A and B are shown apart, each in its own frame.
Chain A
Amino acid sequence: MGLKDSLSANCEKGEGEVATIEFRIVPTDQKELILSRLDEVLGEGVGHKVTRNMEIVVATGKRTEVFLVPRMVLDIFMKTQGIHNPYCLGMHVGDLIHDEFLLGIEGATLCAPYTTRKAKVSDKGEQAVLYGRDIECAFIKDFPSAIHRGEKLLVLNVFDETIAIGKALVDGVEFSTLPKEKVAVENILDRGWYLRKGT
């Protein structure tokens, strides 16, 4: 395909395309749901701290995407609403599916300073996580004692950088007694996604 064909093909795709995603400022009930789910997963008050000074916009299509949006960006969004649908805006922090809020990796990074629900992994653990693997006890340097099996937690590397969101497969109080090969954290979403699927 030559340059002209390639650019023309893009133009053709753009024409007549039906917008199937609706962007809107989050309704009050959905906002309360998002904040309460964040608090449930990561601790009391996390939702309010993370969304401070930001507006929340939701995009509803096959799923409901949640974006944190600064005021100036929201102004442009409001001004262009009904003229052009945005592709994305602000920072995508997660998705609402039915009554559950699924935290995204950048949402997790924003939440990390405000929560104690974090497991820290070694360098080898970091590599395993970024390949999308679940995490064995041998790779975990710190595990929150207050966490219960089935609860979500953030996964940090040795530099305290958020690299994944996981689900505890064991209780925090039993962690120190478990064999090294026991898988303690299920990898839900990790930063390796950017390499595997992001671009």
Chain B
Amino acid sequence: MSDKIVRDLAGRFGYSTYLVDRYIQMFGLEDTLRLLEANEKGLMNCIRCNTLRVSPDHLLDRLENKKFKLERIGWVPYGFRVLKESFSLGSTTEYLLGYYYIQEVASMLPPHLLAPQPSDCVVDLCAAPGGKTTQLAQIMGNKGVIVAIDLNRERMRSLRSNLSRCGVSNVIAYRMDGKDLPTLGVIADRILIDAPCSCDGVIPFDPSRKKSRGMEDIEFCSSIQKKLVAAAIQCLASEGELVYSTCSTAPEENERIIAEAIEKFDVQVVDTGLQFGDEGFREALGVRYPDELRLARRLYPHKNGTEGFFICKLRKR
């Protein structure tokens, strides 16, 4: 693609040229344009009903009585898109009662696909501020145990507050580096890694990401992600399952991480069962990835109405 087109698009939409150049190489010009346009429109707020506290029907009634307009998300029975907000979603009595969590639709996917059972020991490796942890807890009916790990001091405070607000009691949280998970000596039935990433998928919510991250950030995140996955696989029980996700579109943070995991460790990619989303890349930016990556899923604002998202499920043999 000519430098002029890249520069024009980057200038028109306010992106780094390197990012637009990568988008065009990965998605082609037409899809890149649609992605950039969709990012400008932003995304609808979504909420997840906390079924530990209240049923989705009851929550719907309560919020509609307050003039909110909600629409059910088809694939998750407790998720709603918020079509109309009569006031701030984070200040309703129902929010303060822990009846819902404000959570982007794509980020409801990892706990849903991990499908933990009430008797499981589950590790949430990058847990704060707690959206996915509280979702795991509700899927498990507050039974079993979730080991929630994060390093960020401020976000740990939010995690604790959200666990409390949502009435979660089956969590033990540690402020530690996820790479040190093996030192805990815990063997998990299931592990969730919503990895720290360069986050270009959240541009619809945070336009500063159009320019604030560079290739060095992608490589830096990639190095952390590899270590997190290695630590997690070491602590996963035989036949245990791991869901890996990021809100980055960069294959270096997604397909490359999974490709290295299946090469180095005794794990296989398994079907997510998702009926939507694009298949993971088998080839991108001049790099080939194993055919198993077709079972991973990529979501985009212009195709799925979600933030940019990658998700893949692994099973330990």
Contact = CB atoms under 8 A, between A and B. Distances in A.
Given A4-B217, A76-B186, A87-B173, A191 B167 contact: no
A195 B90 contact: yes
Nearest 9 interchain pairs by C-beta: A198-B161, A191-B96, A89-B172, A91-B169, A72-B145, A87-B173, A3-B217, A199-B158, A87-B175
A98 interface: no
B121 A76 contact: yes
B42 interface: no
A14 B145 contact: no
Interface in B102-124: 121
Contact of A194 (B143, B153, B165, B176): B165
Interface string A47-69: 00000001000000000000011
A80 B184 contact: yes
B185 A83 contact: yes
Contacts of A106: 164, 167
B129 interface: yes
B14 interface: no
Nearest to A75: B145
B221 interface: yes
Given A106-B164, A191-B97, A195-B96, A90 B174 contact: no
B151 A79 contact: no
A121 to B, nearest CB: 12
Given A72-B145, A80-B172, A195-B96, 15 more contacts: A11-B177, A13-B153, A14-B175, A68-B169, A72-B121, A76-B121, A76-B145, A79-B184, A80-B174, A88-B160, A90-B171, A130-B93, A161-B97, A163-B93, A199-B162
Interface residues of B, number: 50
Contacts of B173: 86-89
Interface of B: 90-91, 93, 95-97, 121, 129, 142-145, 147, 151-153, 156-165, 167-177, 183-186, 196, 198, 212-213, 216-217, 220-221, 224
Given A11-B151, A198-B165, A87 B160 contact: yes
A59 B184 CA distance: 19
Given A195-B91, A199-B162, A76 B147 contact: yes
Contacts of A72: 121, 143-145, 170
Nearest to B142: A70
Contacts of B162: 199
Given A76-B121, A77-B172, A191-B96, A88 B220 contact: no
A2 interface: yes
A126 B93 contact: yes
A167 to B, nearest CB: 21
